[in-house]
Amino acid sequence: MAKQKLTLSIDKEIITQAKNQNINLSSFLEIRLIDYLSDKEKCSRRDSNPSLRLERLPYSSSNIIAQPVLHTYMLKRRLKGISEHWAYDIRVTLNKYLGYVEWQIDESKTLNHLEQLKNHYSISAYRKRVYQIRKFLQYLGIHWADSICVPSEPIKLPKRVTINDIHNTLDYFEGHNYELQLKSITLLGCCSGMRAEEIYQLQPDDIDLNNRVVRVENNPDIGRTTKTGEPRFALFNDETKQLLGEYISYFNNGCNLSYMFGQRHIEKSFKDAPIRVKDLRKFFSQQWDRNGGPTSIKKMLMGHSGDVDSIHYNAQNEEDLRKIYDQVGLKIGR
């Protein structure tokens, strides 16, 4: 088939994202154009307008889903601000699903795959995978996707995390090859209330030691995201300041670590520890209440979605929050 060169103007950000996903733009655009032209006769005038079909694609159960469709879907998800780690997990889930159905959307095979997932994973893990598969099928416009039910999350009592658990964790990392790093993340997590995913993304420049402040960015373009999609700051105490200062100096002066708190390395190091990194945030919340700290301030510091009071009435600046934080007196004593 004869080829003809065509010059197109495409958003620079989309080109960058495509390159990061190893997408050949020429092949991708050609495949999508072929798909569009072949579907055009089946669609109404309104449906055949590409500008109206960005969110749901008119695929039927007999269509084979080409690899570029998944690339496009993941590109759109990432542009909406999900983290690199979460994007990776979604892609793995969808690749396994599409591999099982042999890249041809089929209701019976899909249900069989979901049944296998249900028998293999916990309810929480199963829920996450079903939700992502259903979301992808809805994007494709599969009419039976809405009938896929996601089970309710089981009711579980929150894990109680005490200061003894923190002490035992610090003792566990005594003499570890990365003792300074692992003790630093332990103190930072339990004294700031940051989410584990937020800590994994940190860089030294995000930490203001003098003012005991961490700037939590939300910038998907550089892989920095928060759960609420809003930037904020978190505070830490003097104990954490001292240890973090030592670790940042070590990290900035030729250590063999590529990331300040690399997720996979940290999770592996905490695998057999008394608690997990996500439990540090639980400790902050529980210890704050044990010390009689105001719940509204805790919500601000932890980056919880705002209620009516925090959105419309309770305005506190960094100095106000630091003063209240110090009055609550979170101390580990190690």
The CA-based angle 70-111-54, given to 5 degrees, is 30
At 63 the pLDDT is: 53
Q: What is the CATH number of the domain that holds 174?
A: 1.10.443.10
The CA-based angle 20-21-26, given to 5 degrees, is 100
Q: Are residues 61 and 191 in the same domain?
A: no
At 2 the pLDDT is: 61
Q: Are residues 133 and 228 in the same domain?
A: no
Within a domain: 334 = no
- List, for residues 242-297, the tens digit of each pLDDT value: 999 999 999 999 888 989 999 999 999 999 999 999 999 999 999 999 999 999 89
At 80 the pLDDT is: 74
d(CA 189, CA 243): 13
At 53 the pLDDT is: 39
At 211 the pLDDT is: 95
Q: Are residues 254 and 180 in the same domain?
A: yes
DSSP state of 64: B
At 11 the pLDDT is: 67
Q: Are residues 120 and 176 in the same domain?
A: no
The CA-based angle 255-260-266, given to 5 degrees, is 105
Which of 94, 119, 147 represents a domain boundary (last residue)? 147
Q: How many domains does the chain have?
A: 2
Which of 94, 112, 147 represents a domain boundary (last residue)? 147
User: 122: domain range?
Assistant: 12-147
Within a domain: 86 = yes
Q: Are residues 196 and 68 in the same domain?
A: no
Within a domain: 4 = no
Q: Are residues 120 and 167 in the same domain?
A: no
At 267 the pLDDT is: 94
Q: Are residues 143 and 168 in the same domain?
A: no
Ranges of residues in the chain whose predicted pLDDT is under 70: 1-3, 11-14, 16-18, 20-25, 27-64, 66, 220-223, 225, 305-314, 334
Q: Are residues 142 and 176 in the same domain?
A: no
Q: Are residues 141 and 195 in the same domain?
A: no
d(CA 281, CA 298): 11
Q: Are residues 236 and 193 in the same domain?
A: yes
At 86 the pLDDT is: 82
Q: Are residues 196 and 311 in the same domain?
A: yes
For residue 35 the two structure tokens come to 């798909």
Q: Are residues 113 and 199 in the same domain?
A: no
Report the run of H or E that residue 207 belongs to, with start and end: strand 207-208
